[in-house]
Structure 1
Amino acid sequence: MHDALAALARAAATPTPTPSGVDPTLVTPGPWGFVVVVFIALAVIFLVWDMMRRIRRGRVRADIIEELDAEEQAAAAMEATDVDDQRTDAAGDDDASPGRRD
Structure 2
Amino acid sequence: MSTIAAVLAATPSPSPTSTVPDVDVTPGVAGFIAIAVVAVVTILLVIDMTRRIRRTRYRAEIRERLEAEAEASTTADGRAAVTTDEPGRRAAEDGRADLGDDTERG
TM band (smaller chain) = 0.5 to 0.7
C-alpha displacement at 1:22, in angstroms? 2.8
Aligned to 2:70: 72
Q: Root-mean-square deviation (CA), in Å? A: 2.6
Trace 1:25-44 onto structure 2 (pairs within 5 A): 27-44=25-42
Which runs of 4 or more aligned residues in structure 1 lie more than 2 Å from their structure 2 counterparts after TM superposition?
17-27
Q: Which has the higher Rg, Structure 1 or Structure 2?
A: 1
Trace 1:1-102 onto structure 2 (pairs within 5 A): 21-24=19-22, 27-76=25-74, 79-80=75-76
| Alpha-carbon spacing, 1:53–1:19, altered in 2? closer, same or farther (3 Å) | farther
C-alpha displacement at 1:71, in angstroms? 0.6
Q: How many residue pairs were aligned?
A: 64
**TM-score, normalised by the number of residues in structure 2:** 0.51
CA distance in structure 2 between the aligned counterparts of 1:20 and 1:67, rounded to whole angstroms: 70
The structure carrying a bigger helix percent of its residues is 1
| Alpha-carbon spacing, 1:25–1:31, altered in 2? closer, same or farther (3 Å) | farther
**TM-score, normalised by the number of residues in structure 1:** 0.53
Unaligned 5+ segments in structure 2 are 1-14, 80-106
Unaligned 5+ segments in structure 1 are 1-16, 84-102
- Partner of 2:65, secondary structure, is helix
Which residue identity lines up with residue 71 of structure 2 in the other structure? Q
CA distance in structure 1 between the aligned counterparts of 2:17 and 2:52, rounded to whole angstroms: 50
Which fold has the larger relative contact order, with Cα–Cα distance below 8 Å and residues 6 or more apart in sequence? Answer: 2
CA distance in structure 2 between the aligned counterparts of 1:19 and 1:44, rounded to whole angstroms: 39
Which residue identity lines up with residue 33 of structure 1 in the other structure? G
* TM-superposition CA deviations, 1:59-88 (whole Å, max 9, x none): 110000000001111112xx107x9xxxxx
